[in-house]
Amino acid sequence: MDGNGRWAKARGLPRIAGHRRGADAVRNAVRAAGELGVRYLTLFGFSSENWRRPSDEVADLMGLLRHFLRAELAELHRQGVRIRIIGERKRLPADVCSLIEQAETTTRDNTFLDLVVALSYGARAEIVLAARELAEAAKAGTLDPAAIDETLFASHLATADIPDPDLLVRTSGEKRVSNFLLWQCAYTEFVFLDVLWPDFGREAFEAAIAEFGRRERRYGAVVG
C-alpha cells in the first residue's frame, strides 16, 4: 500500500491526512476482496524500515492502527473476516499488541476471508529468524540438517499455514518488492498500478485481478 504521503502532498495536506485516507482504502479493499471471492488478502501496513521515519509520523501511524483495531473489529467479525498479524510484535507498543491479540482471538474461527496484516515486518528478518530456529534445533540434536527442505523451512515462516500469494499488487507506480514476502513470492505474479493507495478502490482491484487472469503461469516449466 504505497502513496499515502504523495497523495497528501499533492493536496497540500499533512502526511497523516494521507494515512487516514489510506485507512479508508483498507476498508474498501477488504470489502472488495470479499465481494470478488479473494480468500486471502495480505496488506503491508508497516515495514521494519518504517521505524526510521520521523517519530511523530510513527506515533500517528500507531494511533491509526489503534483506531482501526478498535473501530473495525466488530464489523470485520460480523463479515466473517479472520484477522492475522505477521511481523515483529515486540517492537510494537504494548497496548497495540493487546489489541492485536484481542482481534486475532475474536476472529480466529472465521472462514470468509483471512485478512493478514504485516506490521513491523521485514522479509529478510523473517527468513533469518527461520534459519536461526532450524540451526538451533540442529545444534540441540533435535533436527537432522539433512532433513531441512523447502517445506520444513517454510513451516518456520510467519506465513506457515497461509498459501503463498498468487498475485502481488503494488500501488503508486513503484516497481519493487521492498522486502515483502521474499520467500513466499517466488512464483507470484506482480501487477504495478500508477494509482496512489488512498485512491485504490474496487475498480483498481478488479483491473489487477483481470490482468492476473490474462497471465500464463508456468512455475518455471516449459508449456506447449
Q: Just list the catalytic residues.
A: 2, 50
d(CA 136, CA 209): 41
User: Burial of 106 by CB count in 10 Å (0-12 exposed, 13-18 middle, 19+ buried)?
Assistant: middle
Cα 130 to its chain centre, rounded Å, is 18
Helix (DSSP H) and strand (DSSP E) numbers for the chain = 7, 5
Residue carrying C-alpha cell 470485520: 76
Report DSSP letters for 21-89, one per residue: HHHHHHHHHHHHHHHHT-SEEEEEEEEGGGGGS-HHHHHHHHHHHHHHHHHHHHHHHHTTEEEEEES-G
Alpha carbons within 13 A on the beta-carbon side of 179:
18
Q: 65, 20 in Cβ contact below 8 A?
A: no
d(CA 78, CA 21): 23
